[in-house]
Amino acid sequence: MSQPSKTTSASTTSSRRPSLFIVESPTKAKTIQKYFGDTFIVCATVGHIADISAADNAVELANDFAVTYELTPAGKKAVSELRKEMKKCDEIILATDADREGELIAALVVEFLRPAIPVKRIDVLSITKSAIEEAIRNSRDIDQNLVEAARTRRVLDRLFGYQVTDIARKKVRGNTTAGRVQSPALRLVVEREYERIAFTSASYWDVAIGLDTSPAFKATLTRVANASTNNMMLTVATGKHFDDRGLFTANATEVVVVDQLTAERIASTLSRPSSVVEVRDVASKPAKRNPQPPFTMSSLLQAAGNRLGMSAAEVRSAAQELFGKSHITYARTDNPVHSPSSRKEIRAEIAKIFGADKVAPFERYASSKGKNTQGAHEAIRPTRLDKRKLPNVTPRQQALYDLIWQRTMASQMIEAAGITLTVTLFADLSTDQCEFTATGTTYNEPGFLAVYAATGEEGDDDLAIFPSLSIGDELPVSSAEAKEHRTLPPARFTEASLVRELERLGIGRPSTYTSIIEKLHDRYVWSKQGDRALIPTVTAFAVHRLLTTWFSDLIDYEFTNQLENNLDHIAEGASLRSSVLNEFFFGTSDVVGLQTLVSDAADNTMWNEMFALELGTHPETGEKMVVRPGRWWQKTKTYSPYIECGQLQKSIPDQMAFDTLSPTDVAMLLTLPRVLGQHPDSGVDVVAQLGPYGPYVKCGAEIRSLVRDGALFAITLDEAVTLLAAPKKARSEKKWTAKKKGSGKKKK
């Protein structure tokens, strides 16, 4: 709990003692204390002070799911501090967040504090002095419907988390967890990987030409007629014309797949001196672009991830630092609307910096909150719009602040307006008739894009400036290149795209997204160095198999979203608590409840079945590659995970992290031992292999260890011969060298 400010002098000299002002966040407490000085003693609970007891019977199933709450260790300290400060005060003002969780915190504070002085509950949607004063003038009682919704959510999470996690730990492995919202997020990541494994890439070609004009521009082959099309002008195929199996799905009478021979023939012909193309059409249409809404926590996570490469944890930490230093408003909000006073201030600042003509003629994004928005705080914004360069912040914090400042200002500015121009070019070649297209947008009224002029953050569309063109003009070709394209599998989720998908599906709330991602990183996903894509581990596949086998309805996206809607209904006053919990746990005639699902899973699941994980097919043999958890070897008597591909079985070495194996890794392991060739002196095979102590090369009796990462699959015959010719190191020296170079067993 945060320490209250020293305000005892005011309480002894004034006839009225201060109010005990309670919030969740220490940074909020500091900001509010600055505003009000001795008027308040501001304390922070630092989140929830109590939780459902950890005892197995904490949720009384036979007593309408009644629960026992206990103070957390931090909560005991917080309540003790609050009781001490309460003795100095005339009233308590509960200013925790105006959402379900904030309401529950307020209720639990009253429950455990048992105050003998008046209690006010207020809704503070913006951490400004005027907003807090307005909230105090409109105080209310604790909303028991909101409290009930929060309690119900916690019971649902406890039932799911405890029961399904127990099964996962018994049937998969000991450090796994499951959660009502975490598990659907895991499902998204794993099923995206299955889509990638099943994906078959297809190849198609096009031709790009450069035009020797002023200014120069480029165009791409979009239609072609030749002997293969019966001399009919057909649309050139792109990636959208192929399915995930690599099959061409378009109508062959309308679309043609250009092959390498055709593309290279067209490019070669147009590369000849004096080649020209004719302008067949110049079409223009108005282009308009509106600014995006102000930042919520969710959209900030996405924007900072995509533009700044920041992880969810880094964004949360940087935003908390900025809030703690009073540079931005509270960031953990799901409300994309600024308060009326904030909008007025933003519009005035736009007029001052960019001119009154750049202020939108109406207040943008002033509508009420959306269906799933709890709206405990206004949208994120700078506390002082005239402040651009911040003191005592890191470069990453400054970059995040710039993003927030830009989005805030842009949200109340006029749209960008301009023209989108499409130029169609024609070339009549000896064997082919070709149509090329170039498209670009030019904004003659930048509007809100003026905010981003310095960085280009939002103005990075494919802009093209064309010369003055007329139909019939012949344009000289400066370059022509045949280009191969391959269809790509669905991209893996990044933290930003996963947040966007969770939000789209209505799963979870912005305040939970960061913790969900942290749990996935802790147990189920990893990322390659320099890459933000979330790659599921083998354990993730195993837990997914368990969940989809026995709990598919409970991790269904629509079901999870409906539960959130039910909680909203409870918060609005609907008497749904008992029916929601009973249906979830005990089930109905139409719905199988959690209790039955857990029992069935416990009785009918063999733990080693979960790890029988198919990782696609071998690129050469077409046989299924399967990872299994382990077996007893007849010689070594060791138990270790292994790969199975047809009749071939190969143990996964300790040096390779079992949880981070990919189909490519498995296929490469199946190539071992690698015969690099014959030694030039002895004619004996030189082999690269994995052994108990790591990778090595061998030629006859000579063995040398490999310590460089990836050397096992990259080393050449010449490199291996050079290594074998070097003096053999003593084992102690090898260990010291390997340790110094950071080799050895990978961390999972």
Residue 180 DSSP one-character state: T
Q: Sorting pLDDT into bands at 50, 70 and 90, what band is 664?
A: confident
Mean pLDDT of 683-690: 92
DSSP E strands: which ranges in 158-228? 203-211, 217-225
Mean pLDDT of 5-27: 67
Average pLDDT over residues 156-178: 90
Question: In terms of domains, do 467 and 497 share one?
Answer: no
pLDDT for 699 beyond 90: yes
- H or E segment and range at residue 308: helix 297-308
Does residue 666 carry a pLDDT above 50? yes
Catalytic positions are 330
Indicate if 362 and 507 belong to the same structural domain: no
225 with 186, same domain: the answer is no
Residue 587 belongs to some domain of the structure: yes
Q: How confident is the model at residue 646, as a pLDDT?
A: 84
The single-letter DSSP state of residue 484 is: E
* pLDDT at residue 370 in the model: 57
Note the pLDDT tens digit of each residue in 336-374. Answer: 999 888 999 999 999 999 999 999 999 999 876 555 566
The token pair at 220 is 């791409």
- 133: enclosing H helix or E strand: helix 129-137
Residue with tokens 């947008």: 441
* Residue that is last in its domain, among 486, 502, 524: 486
Question: Are 325 and 268 in a shared domain?
Answer: no
What number of helices (H) and strands (E) belong to the chain?
23, 26
Torsion sign over Cα 278, 280, 282, 283: negative
Q: Distance of alpha carbon 547 from its chain centroid, rounded?
A: 22
Residues 702 and 456: their CA atoms lie apart, in Å, by 59
CATH, residue 474: 2.70.20.10
Distance between CA 575 and CA 59 in Å, rounded?
19
Could you give phi then psi for residue 688, rounded to 5 degrees?
A: -105, 135
Q: Say if residue 93 is in the same domain as residue 53.
A: yes
In a domain, 3, yes or no: no
The whole-angstrom distance between residue 253's C-alpha and the CA centroid of its chain comes to: 41
pLDDT surpassing 80 at residue 656: no
In the structure, what pLDDT confidence band is assigned to residue 284 with cuts at 50, 70 and 90?
very high
Asked if residues 297 and 315 have their Cβ atoms less than 8 Å apart, the reply is no
Please provide the DSSP assignment of 476-537 as one string.
Answer: EEEEEEEEEEE--PPPPP-HHHHHHHHHHHT-S-HHHHHHHHHHHHHHTEE--TT----EE-
State which residues form the domain around 746.
672-748
Q: Are residues 430 and 333 in the same domain?
A: no
CATH number of the domain residue 127 falls in: 3.40.50.140
The three-class DSSP label of residue 381 is: coil
Mean pLDDT taken over the chain: 87
Domain-ending residue, one of 361, 387, 414: 414
Query: What is the spatial distance between Cα 28 and Cα 320, in angstroms, rounded to a whole number?
Result: 10
Q: CATH no. for residue 341?
A: 1.10.290.10
Distance CA 435, CA 233 (A): 9
Q: What is the dihedral of CA 488, 494, 500, 501, to 10 degrees?
A: 60
Which one has a higher pLDDT value, 473 or 568?
473
pLDDT bracket for residue 657 (50, 70, 90): low
Provide mean pLDDT across the span 136-165.
94
pLDDT score, position 708:
62
User: What's the DSSP call for residue 191?
Assistant: H
In a domain, 305, yes or no: yes
In a domain, 361, yes or no: yes
The count of structural domains within the chain is: 6
Closest CA to 427 of 215, 275, 210, 226: 275
Enter the tokens of residue 56: 């197995």
Q: Is residue 147 part of a domain?
A: no
Which of 370, 394, 414 marks a domain boundary? 414
Question: H/E element holding 281?
Answer: strand 276-289
Whether pLDDT at 653 is above 90:
no
Residue 371 has what pLDDT?
55
Mean pLDDT over residues 243-264, rounded?
94
Q: Tens of pLDDT along 210-242?
A: 999 999 999 999 999 999 999 999 999 999 999
Based on the fold, state whether residues 541 and 651 are members of the same structural domain: no
In a domain, residue 1? The reply is no
- Percent of the chain topping pLDDT 70: 89
Residues 67, 37 share a domain: yes
Residues 45 and 164 in one domain: no
Q: How far apart are CA 71 and CA 77, in angstroms?
A: 9
What's the rounded Cα separation, in Å, for the pair 432 and 262? 9
Q: What is the mean pLDDT of residues 30-43?
A: 90
Residue 477 lies in a domain: yes
| In the block, residue with structure tokens 């223009």 | 284
Average confidence (pLDDT) over 609-627: 77
Q: Report the DSSP beta bridge partners of residue 428.
A: 433
Residue 667 maps to a domain: no
> Is 394 found in the same domain as 302?
yes
Q: In angstroms, rounded to a whole number, what is the distance separating the alpha carbons of residues 93 and 160?
A: 35
Domain match, 127 and 191 both: no
What does pTM read for this prediction? 0.79
Model confidence band, residue 738 (pLDDT cutoffs 50, 70, 90): very low
Residue 287 has pLDDT above 70, yes or no: yes
How far is the CA of 309 from the CAs of 129, 312, 387, 516, in angstroms?
Answer: 35, 10, 24, 19
| 659: pLDDT strictly greater than 70 | no
List residues bridging with 436 in a β-sheet: 221, 425
Q: Are 724 and 702 in contact (CB under 8 A)?
A: yes
CB atoms within 10 A of CB 529: 4
Q: How far apart are CA 395 and CA 527, in angstroms?
A: 24
Kindly state whether residues 135 and 85 are assigned to the same domain. yes
Q: 44 forms bridges with which residues in the sheet? A: 23
